[in-house]
Amino acid sequence: MNNGYPPNFHPGEFSCKCGGRYCDGHSPSSPITRHLAWVLQRVREELGGKPIHVTSGVRCIGWNKHVGGASDSCHLRGMAADLDVEGASPEEVADAVERLMENGRIPDGGLGRYPTFTHVDTRYRSARWGSND
């Protein structure tokens, strides 16, 4: 394991993508982000082991503003990831996440559907938005 992360993920994948523009881009090591990684491991398993790429994980305040994130974004607390999955459409990914949430296999948190990626977060309440169109 990688500092408590599941076998298919490592802390660096969740680092802020600002490239040092607003922060030092350090790798997150919080229990919150490790929990998110384990949730994503379940998503990967549900999708038959297809590799998941975290295109946006933890965001510093400056990067969150730059990319147009919500002021209270779960990305700011290390509780969210935007995903691209090799060999699966964003709709397939979102449908898999929805199944896992409905079946109680992952926490029923946030699920955002977008045409080019899927947002997953571990907030403490159910939230759905967007469309894969």
Domains defined along the chain, listed by start: 11-130 (3.30.1380.10)
Q: List, for residues 20-74, the tens digit of each pLDDT value.
A: 999 987 767 789 999 999 999 999 999 999 999 999 999 999 999 999 999 999 9
Is residue 1 predicted with pLDDT exceeding 90? no
Is residue 118 predicted with pLDDT exceeding 90? yes
Q: List, for residues 75-115, the tens digit of each pLDDT value.
A: 999 999 999 999 999 999 999 999 999 999 999 999 999 99
Beta bridge partners of 82: 56, 119
Alpha-carbon span 90 to 59, nearest angstrom = 21
C-alpha 55: how far from chain center: 8
Length in residues, the chain: 133
